[in-house]
Amino acid sequence: MFFNSIAFAIFLPIVFFLYWFVFNKTKSTQNALLIIASYYFYSCWDWRFLFLLVFSTFLDYYTGIQIEKGKSEKLRKFWFWLSILVNLGFLGIFKYYNFFAASFSELLNSVGLKTSPVLLNVILPVGISFYTFHGLSYVIDIYYKRIKAEYNFIDYSLFVSYFPLLVAGPIERATHLLPQVKVKREFNFEKAKEGIYQIIWGLVKKVVIADTCATYANAIFDHYTSMNSFSLILGAVYFAFQIYGDFSGYSDIALGVSKLFGLDLLRNFNYPYFSRDIAEFWRRWHISLSSWFRDYLYIPLGGSKGGLWMKIRNTFIIFVVSGFWHGANWTYIVWGFINAVYFLPLLLRNSNRNNMDVFQLKFDLDSVKILISISYTFFLTCIAWIFFRAKTITDAILYLKRIFTNKEFGFQYLDNERYNYELLLMIGLFVLVEWNSRAKIEPLSGKRSLLKLAFAIMAIMAFGTFSDYKEFIYFQF
Amino acid sequence: MKVFLKYIIQIIAVTLVFAFGIQYFSDNGFKQLKNSRYNDWANILNGKINSEIIINGSSRGFVGYNPVIIGDKLNLSCFNLSFNAGSYNLQQSKFDIYLKNNKTPKVIIQNIDLAYFVKSTKLPDEEQFYPFIYNKSIDSLTTKFDNRFSLFRTIPLLKYNQKIKMLEEGVIANFSNPFEKNVKTIQGYCPQNRIFKVDYHNLSRFPNLTFKAENKHEILLLHDMINFYTWRLHKDAKIIFVWMPEYKLRLTKSFDLKRESIIDELNLIQKKDKNFLFIDMAYDEMSNHTQYYYDTFHLNEVGSNLFSEKVSMKINEFLN
Q: What is the pLDDT of residues A68-112, one digit of tens each?
A: 998 899 999 999 999 999 999 988 888 777 777 777 787 888 877
CB-based contact A453 B160, cutoff 8 Å: no
B53's enclosing H/E stretch is strand B53-56
- Closest residue in A to B10 (Cα–Cα): A450
Which of B2, B9, B11, B130 to mutate to probe the A interface, most A CBs <10 Å? B11
Which of B6, B22, B164 to mutate to probe the A interface, most A CBs <10 Å? B164
Q: What is the pLDDT of residues A295-306, one digit of tens each?
A: 999 888 887 787
CB atoms within 10 A of CB A360: 9
pLDDT score, position A350: 83
CB contacts of A192 in chain B (<8 Å) are: 4
Q: How far apart are CA B78 and CA B108, in angstroms?
A: 10
Q: Share the mean pLDDT of chain A.
A: 88
CB contacts of A461 in chain B (<8 Å) are: 19, 155-158, 161
- The number of residues making up chain A comes to 477
pLDDT score, position A91: 86
Of A269, A32, A271, the C-alpha closest to A152 is A32
Interface ipTM: 0.79
Could you give the C-alpha distances from A349 to A141, A304, A344, A353, A379, in angstroms and in order? Answer: 33, 13, 9, 10, 21
Q: What is the pLDDT of residues A45-64, one digit of tens each?
A: 888 889 989 999 999 999 99
What is the per-residue burial (b if ≥16 Cβ within 10 Å, else e) of B224-250?
ebbebbbeebeeebbbbbbbbbbbebb
DSSP 8-class letter at A442: S
CB-based contact B14 A454, cutoff 8 Å: yes
State pTM to two decimals. Answer: 0.82
Chain B interface includes A455 (CB < 8 A) = yes
Q: How many domains does chain B have?
A: 1
Could you give the C-alpha distances from A263 to A158, A180, A287, in angstroms and in order? Answer: 11, 7, 18
Cβ B211 vs Cβ B218: under 8 Å: yes
- A326 noted as active-site residue: yes
Q: How far apart are CA B205 and CA A58, in angstroms?
A: 62
**How big is the A-B interface in CB pairs under 8 Å?**
61
Q: How far is A36 from chain B (nearest CA, A)?
A: 23
Cβ B242 vs Cβ B311: under 8 Å: yes
Average pLDDT of A229-235? Answer: 91
Q: Share the mean pLDDT of chain B.
A: 88
Range in A93-107, A123-137, A226-240 with the lowest mean pLDDT = A93-107
Of A295, A234, A273, the C-alpha closest to A380 is A273
Average pLDDT of A320-333? Answer: 88
Q: How far is A322 from chain B (nearest CA, A)?
A: 36
Q: How far apart are CA B317 and CA B320, in angstroms?
A: 5
The three-point CA angle A150-A156-A157 to 5° equals 155
Chain B interface includes A462 (CB < 8 A) = yes
3-state helix, strand, coil in chain B (%, to 5): 55, 10, 35
A142 has pLDDT over 60: yes
Most confidently predicted of A466-470, B6-10, B156-160: B6-10
> Where do runs of H (alpha helix) occur along A263-364?
278-284, 287-293, 308-326, 330-348
**Is pLDDT larger for residue A215 or for residue A320?**
A320
Average pLDDT of B94-107? Answer: 95
Q: How far apart are CA A392 and CA A330, in angstroms?
A: 7
Q: How far is B195 from chain A (nearest CA, A)?
A: 22
pLDDT band, very low/low/confident/very high, at B75 (cuts 50, 70, 90): very high
Q: How far apart are CA A149 and CA A162, in angstroms?
A: 18
B78's enclosing H/E stretch is strand B78-80
CATH number at residue B216: 3.40.50.1110
Cβ A404 vs Cβ A240: under 8 Å: no
B287 has pLDDT over 70: yes
Could you give the C-alpha distances from B265 to B89, B196, B221, B278, in angstroms and in order? Answer: 20, 33, 11, 10
Task: Show the domain range for B209.
Answer: 2-319
pLDDT score, position B206: 55
CA B53 to chain centre: 15
Q: How far apart are CA B149 and CA B19, in angstroms?
A: 17
Average pLDDT of B48-70? Answer: 95
Q: How far apart are CA A255 and CA A253, in angstroms?
A: 5
The three-point CA angle A210-A211-A216 to 5° equals 95
Range in A46-55, A81-90, A258-267, B305-314 with the lowest mean pLDDT = A46-55
Q: How far apart are CA A270 and CA A252, in angstroms?
A: 11
pLDDT band, very low/low/confident/very high, at B178 (cuts 50, 70, 90): low
Chain B interface includes A198 (CB < 8 A) = no
Cβ A273 vs Cβ A260: under 8 Å: no
Domain ranges of chain A: 6-186, 191-276+359-476
Range in A58-67, A149-158, A458-467 with the lowest mean pLDDT = A458-467
Q: How far apart are CA B31 and CA B233, in angstroms?
A: 28
pLDDT score, position B209: 52
DSSP 8-class letter at B291: G
Which residues on adjacent β-strands are paired with residue A433?
none
pLDDT band, very low/low/confident/very high, at A387 (cuts 50, 70, 90): very high
Chain B interface includes A192 (CB < 8 A) = yes
- Closest residue in B to A196 (Cα–Cα): B8
A400 has pLDDT over 70: yes
